[in-house]
Structure 1
Amino acid sequence: MGILLKGGTIITEDKTFVGDLRIEGETIEAIGASITPVSGDEVIDVAGQYVLPGIIDAHVHYKMPIGKVYTIDNFDTGSRAALCGGVTTVIDYAEPVEGCDMLGSLDHRVKEASGHNFVDYSMHMTLSGDTPYSLDDIEKFKEYGVNSIKLYTTYDFILDYKSIEAILIKAAELDMVVTIHSEDNAIIQEKIEELKAEGKTAISYHAVSRPSVSETKAVEDLVDICEKNNVGVHIVHVSSGYTAELIEVAKKRGVKITAETCPHYLMLNSEVYEGEDAPLFVMQPPLRTEAERQLLWEKLISGTFDFITTDHCAYDHHQKFFSHTFYETNGGIPGTETLLPVMWSEGVSKGKITPEHLMKMLSENPAKTYGLYPKKGTLKVGSDGDIVVIDPLREVTISKDLIHTAADYSTFEGLSLKGYPVLTILRGKIAFNKGKFCLGDPEGQFVKIL
């Protein structure tokens, strides 16, 4: 028995048209203007609605250890919420595990997620300055089925730029992707110590402690390395429009640089750190000024960003409010479930971007970047039957009662949206339909690079 979607506005890589799409088993079997149902098909009328490839959130942290605690969303709750928002694939992070070598750490994380993820998933492998690794490990990651590495220019696991350069060169030889959390550590540490000395430790100083110049400086240094060696880099969670300008200029110069931003940087500014709920909005990098937020939108509209992710790293109120200092508050927010609806409402419904542009940023481009295409990220015959149907006229207001994350709040609480997912299909199975979660046990699969 198959699933036949009838009369929807289908967005493929090549065109957008009103038509039908049929799934047989786990894959797309036919796409066309009019498809006759096969006996036993479940026929679903999607007239007036948009049919997109399942969304890929290429930056999530489920069940991530923070000291002795974990983020509130484990694989189960995080991926369940993802499906309710039209996300069918996520890319999580594997970090070094005590007692394991690098490949063993990757395998440990993949197996930890197995049997607990409702969505399909891949991994970025983290290399850090506080754990031994070798450049030969990078090739082992690719042989395992992962083609991306995560590095940091700040935090305790910072890598120096000489080490980063060596990794970028090795990854380029293997046609792998290096993703980097880019903030200049020296600038941040100097600012933090200065604020502490002045007794300015309230969360209202969070954005001041990690100024946007720390992000632009780190990206400038990475651009220089890439240009010198003719290698590429991917910048994660760009927070400032000034950084986006720098990336835009580098791209025009031919530098092999790609970048992502997140809905919270597009929707919120640093004024929230003055309010009573300030801890709920602490993340790294922090939210920026209103001018930088608006500039970020300008650069997204003009095509500077390759895709949009969430950096989903969820906590509940208890985990967020245990401290009221900017340097002790847990950094991270929920986001996967609201990725598509927020970007559709604020981008497409308000006429800032086209549905086709959004599809590329949320599905096609991350799939191509991380080696998941054409299995994922596109509506093609033979591709996985990962589908999200969005009703462009449905209006909702985001609240903790609407969303499914284990976090007891939404970053976008009270935001009115126009356009919302009504149906999610994962590899030919209806996962979410008209507000109801439809799956039993988690059946998400680890997706190896193609």
Structure 2
Amino acid sequence: MTRTAVLHPDLRKGHQRRAPENALAEAISLANALSGLEVIEGKVVPVPKPRAGYLFGSGKTAELAQWIEDEKIELVVIDGPVTPVQQRNLEKALKCKLLDRTGLILEIFADRAQTREGVLQVDLAALGYQRTRLVRSWTHLERQRGGLGFVGGPGETQIEADRRALDERINQIRRALEKVVKTRGLHRKARAKVPYPIVALVGYTNAGKSTLFNKLSGADVMAKDMLFATLDPTMRSIELPSGQNIILSDTVGFISDLPTQLVAAFRATLEEVLDADLILHVRDISHPESEAQAKDVRDILENLGVSEEQRDGMIEIWNKVDLLDSEGLSAAERVAGRHEKHLAISATTGRNLDQLCDMIDGTVRDPILYETLDMPISAGEATAWLYARKLVVSSNIKDLRMLLEVEWTHKQKEQFYKLHRGDFDIPDLEPEEPEVDESEKTPWHPDD
């Protein structure tokens, strides 16, 4: 186990910022989520004015170096962005390895990704991150300044060679990802033929999405009290108590200050959210900064391209009410009850899950239509499609034609028309009235 210290730089700028103690607790949870690390201690380090070369002031850097030496720390995690120059200088001054927030999250994703797509996404994000830090690998090859004819030193040549190698690898991964994306597109088209609504779970990491997913679907997705327990999206077809079938999707959790490399790299992974008929936003209502986490989730959804209509139609689930005291529980259920699309639940104990299923069912269920189809008896394939989905209520044959009374939804009707309109004459929708030239409506007058 690597002895690790977590430092949260309290930059003390800006009026709306999270409490540094809560930010440090989240950073410690991130470090604990990476196997092989033993977090010895975490500290909030005041930074009145960041230094360009070291981040911390000289006195604070010397103090940290002594503390790290006394505690025999092998790795320091900085909860925030660190430039390549700052990382190089701090590693020299502190005499240990250093990871910033982005590097730590990338390490966690690399450690957890299971599917081929997940591995490729992590590799792509990591290479983009490493590309900006090539200078750290070649500090022993200093650039030279010479007279005429000496435009660069050996270090510059080596960095350029490494950069070309990284660019080639990045292009290879992107080509591989394009194939994966095409495959996922085919899978989505196949699912589109099944008239089941897609319901996607989204939320801040460790909000309880996987626990809720397992509770509703009976699946066995890894659900731990750990940040980023789920990285690869999982989908299950489930039947609600009403008999309505849906496809439930569990997705990777979001986090504040999500690295831009991961937002871009995991866009394809989160395409299931973009195609969802309903989004369930799972919040850890017991967390002291639940509202700030919810805002981060909404901002990331907007950046991913989730439409405003989808965001407005989200159901907000206030999870982990079992961790609240009786007064907090009553308040949470009372406040959530004032909103049509809010619900306080506990995925662990099952509290109010029946109400959640009813809420999902009422949102995704299409109105039932009762119609009569007049079809030739030769339309066997279309008839079989209707019977296979148990949509036919009664049938009658008259003059070599079938009269089928069907009970279906708008979505099933549209799908049927799309697949079988060419098999027989189906009356079109009400014809649009032809546009009439305004000049034809008004009679001509000689004074005009």
TM-score normalised to the size of structure 1? 0.24
**Structure whose residues are more often helix by fraction:** 2
The structure whose RCO (Cα within 8 Å, separation 6+) is larger is 1
Of structures 1 and 2, the larger Rg is shown by 2
**Structure whose residues are more often strand by fraction:** 1
TM-score normalised to the size of structure 2? 0.24
